[in-house]
């Protein structure tokens, strides 16, 4: 079974631009969660989608948004990029929603904002 | 809000030494507890998890962790480390009422020398 895939793997943007990151979960998995990883803040939860609905949201500004499609693939969007948005963005998928389901992480998309 | 503390940021051990990495969490209610590992250049992967029952849980690669409710701790142990255990280790907690949201500690970088 193929693992979680994320595209693109690397991205360079400038302040004020917007960016869309994509995540394809493991086949059969219906829950997708997004995390931001930075050296200073560590891993922080952004949001979770399950059956095309946002189940939970972390403490991030409204510039961070996401969605999930009927095939469970998910995208996250960051508008009006700031320097502080530079980070590794990780996607994790699980069969169902809830912590009793093991989450499988992808390799991440490294976003650099100049 | 939940928080997770990992007091050891960087640990250096010789092969065959014993390992204990500390993890403390702040949430007083029922929690699910996890240890994840990130080997160099690889994805985050689950080492072990605790939901309920026997507070001593065994994971992959000879790792184990003990849940001590009175101390809000979930320390990771391994009797004898190998060079291949060099990685970053993350403790995480989940409030079962928050779907799949994981709150991570800042991580401990383990370096095992030959």
Q: What is the pLDDT along chain B (114 residues), one digit of tens a residue?
A: 778 999 889 999 999 999 999 999 987 778 899 999 999 989 999 999 999 899 999 999 999 999 999 999 999 999 999 999 999 999 999 877 777 889 999 999 999 999
Token reading at A64: 């961070």
- Residue B48, SS3 per DSSP: strand
Q: Distance between the two ends of chain B, CA-based, in angstroms?
A: 41
Residue B94: Cβ-neighbour burial (10 angstroms; 0-12, 13-18, 19+) = buried
- Euclidean distance between CA atoms B28 and B88, whole angstroms: 27
* Beta bridge partners of residue A41, listed in sequence order: none
Q: Find chain B residues with C-beta within 8 A of A103's C-beta.
A: 46, 100, 102
Residue B42: Cβ-neighbour burial (10 angstroms; 0-12, 13-18, 19+) = exposed
Taking CA atoms, what residue in A is nearest to B6?
A: A42
**Which of the following CATH numbers is that of domain B4-113: 3.40.640.10, 3.20.20.10, 2.30.29.30, 2.60.40.10?**
2.60.40.10
Q: Find chain A residues with C-beta within 8 A of B36's C-beta.
A: 105
Query: Would you list which residues of chain B are within 8 Å, Cβ to Cβ, of chain A?
Result: 32, 36, 43-46, 49, 51, 90, 92, 94, 96, 98-107
- Euclidean distance between CA atoms B107 and B89, whole angstroms: 5
Q: Find chain A residues with C-beta within 8 A of B46's C-beta.
A: 102-103
- Euclidean distance between CA atoms A104 and A91, whole angstroms: 8
CB–CB contact B99 A99 (8 Å): yes
The model's pLDDT over A39-97, given as tens digits with 9 standing for 90+, comes to 888 999 999 999 999 998 999 999 999 999 999 999 999 999 999 999 999 999 999 88
């Amino acid at each position: 079974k193929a693992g979680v895939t994320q595209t693109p793997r690397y991205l360079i943007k400038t302040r004020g631009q917007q960016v869309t990151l994509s995540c394809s979960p493991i086949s059969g998995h219906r829950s997708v969660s997004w995390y931001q990883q930075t050296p200073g803040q560590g891993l922080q939860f952004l949001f979770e989608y399950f059956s095309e609905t946002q189940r939970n949201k972390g403490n991030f500004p409204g510039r961070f948004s996401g969605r999930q499609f009927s095939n469970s693939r998910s995208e996250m969007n960051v508008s009006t990029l700031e320097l502080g948005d530079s980070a590794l963005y990780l996607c994790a998928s699980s069969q169902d929603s809830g912590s009793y389901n093991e989450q499988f992480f992808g390799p991440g998309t490294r976003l650099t904002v100049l | 809000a939940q928080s997770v503390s990992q007091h050891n940021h960087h640990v250096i051990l010789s092969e065959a030494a014993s390992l204990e990495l500390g993890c403390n969490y702040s949430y007083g209610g029922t929690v699910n507890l996890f240890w994840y590992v990130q080997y160099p250049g690889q994805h985050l992967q689950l080492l072990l998890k605790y939901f309920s029952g026997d507070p001593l849980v065994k994971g992959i690669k000879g790792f184990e962790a003990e849940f001590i409710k009175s101390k809000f701790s979930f320390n990771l142990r391994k009797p004898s480390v190998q060079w291949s255990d060099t990685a970053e280790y993350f403790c995480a907690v989940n409030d079962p009422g928050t779907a799949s949201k994981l709150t991570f500690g800042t991580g401990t970088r383990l370096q095992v020398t030959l």
